[in-house]
Structure 1
């Protein structure tokens, strides 16, 4: 019978202070918009235990890490930082691989699990693919940029937006591609809604207050699975 952590363990000699595990757990939970109590319910713990993992130098059992990582949609290596310096995509392909198309419902679900994607635009110097922090706002994919950037200048043109996930351990993964016209968000009420919905500031820093949105006319996806 599986034990369910509910209260912080008491261990002699244990030190306090957030570790890489705590930082990564808190950052991923916040990016998904989950409270500690909500994450606890998803992984069979409670909010106090999640708070303990985030704020103390804890060493949870592998079973606990697996449940927390699964609830956050990441791997244990992602959660602990073991995969931080690993180059993705170098695993040997398996013979039982099948490429399966994803329907639009699954593609939109996967879009809501990430916070960083890549947008492909045409610039004066040729095509460019740029990373952006984004959020899903109803049918739209929205992100902030600076007014003088290539993405801001691409307003009114057709662009592509892509996210993916690679699992080197199983040599599997998925990708989602959204295509549509890029528009500037100018309505004050919509800007306010996006500002209050955004969970973090753009990682690139600087004055990036110019909201853009892509309303997809086509969303496709593929997943590598094994028979």
Structure 2
């Protein structure tokens, strides 16, 4: 008798897998964060499951995203729908927490001054022992910023609960001149630049200032000072 076909993975499972891999987490990591069994994380990823809202809230928090994002509720929404909570307040983050939120890799925006004026560019970054590395193209504005001060900003916004955080790094940027060192850094990076191939120049930002802020919303899941 032929084996029963394996149920197709649903959209929820695909989004969970994609977000987990984006963060570089294993199923065990997510299970620990969400207070669930690794086998259940596997089930939700691989089957057409319909978990309860309580678990989805914990899972979204574990994956540093929102239930809306995991369920695809923001896929067709136009930009600009996020609204501030009525009783939200901003708190300053210490340097240690800023580095925790930056993680060991991610996506941010680099701001610099170019010959035509201010420029803001998205970058895939990698954290390296108190510094941040990213690759860029030979002719990009970022490649010409060697020896100047730039800013790197990254953030996370939870539209469902109108909360989030942002981290800002400011400092001089230098190019990795040794090609062997540059190659090793490119190969060690978690993600290749989204802008595509040809980004061979590795740049290092050494921040002299690291600041961050967090939006606190009373009674929102996972919110603590």
Q: Does TM, scored on the shorter chain, surpass 0.5?
A: yes
- SS of 1:52's equivalent in the other structure is helix
Is 1:64 aligned with 2:64? no
How many residues get paired?
214
2:205 aligned residue: 214
| C-alpha distance in 2 between matches for 1:123 and 1:162 | 18
Report deviation, 1:15.
6.6
Report deviation, 1:14.
9.1
| C-alpha distance in 2 between matches for 1:124 and 1:19 | 49
Work out whether residues 110 and 121 of structure 2, in 8 Å CA contact, stay in contact via their aligned partners in 1: yes
2:116 aligned residue: 125
Structure 1 residue corresponding to 2:73, chosen from 74, 82, 87: 82
2:40 aligned residue: 49
Stretches of structure 1 that go unaligned for 5 or more consecutive residues are 1-12
Q: Which deviates further from its counterpart, 122-131 or 43-52?
A: 43-52
Work out whether residues 15 and 57 of structure 1, in 8 Å CA contact, stay in contact via their aligned partners in 2: no
Is 1:32 aligned with 2:51? no
Is 1:152 aligned with 2:147? no
| C-alpha distance in 2 between matches for 1:55 and 1:24 | 11
Structure 2 residue corresponding to 1:173, chosen from 164, 171, 175: 164
1:9 aligned residue: none
Work out whether residues 120 and 160 of structure 1, in 8 Å CA contact, stay in contact via their aligned partners in 2: yes
2:177 aligned residue: 186
TM-score normalised by structure 1 residue count: 0.81
Work out whether residues 104 and 219 of structure 1, in 8 Å CA contact, stay in contact via their aligned partners in 2: yes
Report deviation, 1:179.
0.2
| C-alpha distance in 2 between matches for 1:73 and 1:111 | 12
Work out whether residues 145 and 212 of structure 1, in 8 Å CA contact, stay in contact via their aligned partners in 2: yes
Q: Which deviates further from its counterpart, 146-155 or 77-86?
A: 77-86
Work out whether residues 28 and 72 of structure 1, in 8 Å CA contact, stay in contact via their aligned partners in 2: yes
Superposed CA RMSD: 2.6
